[in-house]
Chain A
Amino acid sequence: MKRLLRHPMAVVGGLLLLAVVTASVAAPLLASSDPIKPSFSKRLQPPRVLGGTSASVLGTDNLGRDIFARLLYGGRVSLALAASAVVLAGTVGVVVGLASGVLGGRLDDVVMRVADVQLAFPVIMLAIAIVSVVGTSPAALVSVLALSGWVLYARTVRAAVLTIRQLDYVEAARTLGASDLRVVVLHILPNTLAPILVIGSSQFATMVLLESGLSFLGMGVQPPQPSWGAMLAEGRDYLSNAWWLATVPGMAISLVVLGANLLGDGLRDLLDPRLRE
């Protein structure tokens, strides 16, 4: 862990993420107002920073609800959904990519063609199809989100595998009798980590934004429950006159993305065998 400390940016990233997650989890303690109950006389009040005089630090939304409270409670939902989706997409994608690249041949062809087929379908259509089969639970939403993301991991990992598996020392390990699995885990996987971490830490934002677009299908979180995606969607119509509605959750997303990026890049520096000097 001493090595970790040599990468201050990674630490900063990690702390940032920790802060956001903690704040969301501690929402009931930190937020004094009700994130759900409308207050019609207090609509669209600007944040105190911009001269608003309301009791709401970050202002109120189109139904007079405290944005700070909604941000915290919404964070729980969005962080959980996006993280689950990224983990699911990443796991499936990496495993598939590894298998496809290492085993090659028929498996590779079939898997890649399946990916091609799936890519042709817009996310919305897949979402509608999935909703009609399994309903509109958060699990369904996570599945749809993961479905939209796994291919990038799979193809990236596969490409890395194709490059690496011809390398001399890998061939050497093979001839020396190391099993395929060992080769994969010890030699190939670490070398594919860099792009995986980069992609994974970028995908969080994509997932939240997708969630924003899919909430209308009745997936996952329903109004009046807040989520960052829902707040973004609701704020879209108010960009000219109450721009903080969409900007505040946008900034929260940016913070998480920053933390994830820094952490991701730091982890990559840490774990990349080739950078050990």
Chain B
Amino acid sequence: MRAYLLRRLWQSALTLVGVSLFVFVILRVIPGDPAKMLLPEGAPESAVQELNRALGLKEPLWVQYGIFLRSVARGDFGQSFQYRAPALRVVVERAPATIELALCAMLLTVLFGVSIGILAAVRRGTGYDYAGTVLAVLGQSLPNFWLGIMLILLFGVSLRWLPTSGFQGWQYLILPSITLAAFPTALVARLTRSSLLEILGQEYIRTGRAKGLGERAVILRHALRNATIPLLTLLGLQIGTLLGGAVITESIFAWPGMGKLVVDAIFFRDFPVVQTVLILSATIFVAINLLVDLLYTVLDPRIRYG
């Protein structure tokens, strides 16, 4: 196990370097000129070239990458082209808003998704199951922006129970979390139901039931344990996506998070910010995947890595 861990950590480092190289190159190869995006349409070509030079973009690619690596080693991810402030600071400032929203949405997802899934599986074929199906369908097919705007109109404008946008307190988390959690909750519910239904038919559950344990105990202890693996896989990917920032939700709710930041940065070709966010994002995914892989072995002792 320790050998495995070390191997994974070493690979993680390689992955991050790979990501940094990949993103660096892609940004400079795709069409789109950062200076042009900063200057207004009515700026002469000479001003564009001048600004590109000032941004260090006229150097050969390998020189730029070398400079970049050296700065990153010092913790300097460069100056954001748009904000004229350190890219790392620009990104990290937005992190808490995204993290809090992601955690809140994840909480809702696990709580409601798993509960609905269990209910639907245990009461299979009844009204509860059908209700669960309807909710799942709605959760998967309602577009993010539709749900968000409708929630704002209902709870913010008509009823005035909740604030419409921004992030200035815990109440501001409610509507965006619901919006963000809708799709993953539906998916989790379906996956839970499906995994539970598999297990509920298996031999050893029947044996467990015959031994006289309460039905609820049987379900919760044996079945859930085994349904957790696919759920964990899904949640691992989901949290990564959420932490990367949910762009549409953040736009709709004027949420000061990283999602909108990175998309704006891509559109404006703000290379340092894109690079920073992507490297951070890769770090998160790598860490989560490692964690999930380790948790597999905890949840199911049969799993071993050869």
Contact = CB atoms under 8 A, between A and B. Distances in A.
A110 B246 CA distance: 28
A136 interface: no
Residue with the highest number of chain A CB atoms closer than 10 Å, among B138, B190, B296, B306: B190
A262 B241 CA distance: 27
A239 B153 contact: yes
Nearest to B284: A120
A268 B124 CA distance: 14
Contacts of B234: 152, 156
B177 to A, nearest CB: 19
B183 interface: yes
Contacts of A199: 187, 191
A156 B248 CA distance: 26
Nearest to B202: A274
Interface residues of B, number: 70
Interface in B216-270: 229-230, 232-234, 236-237, 240-241, 244, 247-248, 262-263, 266
B278 A120 contact: yes
A122 interface: yes
A195 B230 contact: yes
Nearest to A253: B141
B140 A202 contact: yes
A239 B11 CA distance: 48
B105 interface: no
A141 to B, nearest CB: 17
Nearest to B125: A9
Interface string A262-277: 1001001100101101
B302 A167 contact: yes
Contacts of B300: 162-163
A129 B15 contact: no
B169 interface: no
Interface stretch (B46-54, B59-67, B87-95, B144-152): B144-152
Nearest to B301: A166
B133 A262 contact: yes
A119 B140 contact: no
A173 to B, nearest CB: 16
A247 B18 CA distance: 43
B195 A239 contact: no
The A interface, classified by DSSP as helix, strand, loop or mixed, is: helix
B210 interface: no
B201 A117 contact: no
Contacts of A213: 248
Contacts of A246: 143, 146
B15 A113 contact: yes
Contacts of B116: none
A271 B135 CA distance: 25
A132 B202 contact: no
A195 B187 CA distance: 10
Interface in A118-171: 119-122, 124-125, 128-129, 132, 151-152, 155-156, 159-160, 162-163, 166-167
Contacts of B240: 119
B220 to A, nearest CB: 20
B138 A119 contact: no
Given A152-B234, A195-B191, A120 B285 contact: yes
A270 to B, nearest CB: 12
A98 to B, nearest CB: 15
Interface in B33-54: none
A250 B234 CA distance: 25
B136 to A, nearest CB: 6
Interface in A233-258: 236, 239-240, 246-247, 250, 253-254, 256-258
B190 A198 contact: yes
B11 A120 contact: no
B281 A162 contact: no
A274 B141 contact: no
Contacts of A156: 230, 233-234
B142 A250 contact: yes
B237 A152 contact: yes
A257 B140 contact: yes
Interface stretch (A41-49, A204-212, A218-226): A204-212
Given A156-B230, A206-B183, A258 B198 contact: no
Given A163-B302, A194-B198, 17 more contacts: A104-B305, A105-B306, A113-B286, A117-B22, A120-B23, A121-B22, A121-B23, A128-B266, A129-B26, A160-B230, A162-B303, A194-B195, A202-B187, A239-B146, A257-B140, A265-B190, A274-B198
6 contacts: A119-B282, A120-B279, A132-B29, A163-B229, A194-B194, A253-B141
